[in-house]
């Protein structure tokens, strides 16, 4: 039996959000689409997993900025972080920030996430 996960997802695309809802339907999933809301959630809640996209609809808000702030403020240090952006430069810079402060940081592009099932995240 899989334990219920508390998950934060930074993602602005509806199709991708639907995938997270489908795979993690028995878990608690919080979606954010802005830097401000994401940081507020990370400060106020402990998450088991954090999924970060880089490129969002608003140029000022992006996952790279969130990753840098997570490193600076040491937010969600015990969480498993999954960088799911398809942006190669974003993957590299976000991982470099988070590797400085977090123990479990993975780059799994969204196209690879699509092949995974809930049991892969236990």
The answer to whether 101 and 79 have CB atoms below 8 angstroms apart is no
Cα 84 to the chain's mean position, in Å? 7
Report if residue 12 sits inside a domain: no
* pLDDT for res 28: 97
Number of domains observed in the structure of the chain: 1
Label the pairing between strands 49-52 and 105-107: unpaired
Residue 3 has pLDDT above 90, yes or no: no
Report if residue 60 sits inside a domain: yes
Report if residue 53 sits inside a domain: yes
Report if residue 30 sits inside a domain: no
Range of the structural domain that residue 49 is part of? 38-121
Report if residue 25 sits inside a domain: no
Report if residue 87 sits inside a domain: yes
* pLDDT for res 60: 76
Each residue of 35-69: pLDDT tens digit? 999 999 999 999 999 999 998 877 777 999 999 99
This prediction's pTM: 0.95
Each residue of 59-118: pLDDT tens digit? 777 999 999 999 999 999 999 999 999 999 989 999 999 999 999 999 999 999 999 999
Q: What is the dihedral of CA 117, 35, 28, 3, to 10 degrees?
A: 60
In the sheet with 49-52, reading across from the earlier edge strand, the strands are 28-32, 6-10, 49-52, 80-83, 105-107
The answer to whether 108 and 36 have CB atoms below 8 angstroms apart is no
Report if residue 42 sits inside a domain: yes
């Amino acid at each position: 039996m899989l334990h219920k996960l508390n998950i934060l997802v930074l993602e602005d695309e509806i199709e991708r959000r639907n995938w997270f809802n489908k795979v993690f339907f028995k878990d608690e999933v919080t979606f954010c689409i802005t830097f401000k809301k994401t940081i507020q959630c990370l400060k106020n809640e402990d998450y088991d997993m954090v999924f970060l996209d880089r490129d969002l609809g608003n140029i000022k808000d992006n996952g790279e900025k969130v990753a840098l702030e997570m490193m600076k403020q040491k937010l969600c240090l015990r969480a498993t972080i999954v960088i799911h952006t398809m942006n190669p430069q974003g993957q590299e810079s976000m991982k470099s920030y988070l590797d400085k402060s977090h123990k479990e940081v993975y780059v799994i592009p969204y196209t690879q996430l699509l092949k995974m099932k809930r049991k892969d995240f236990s």
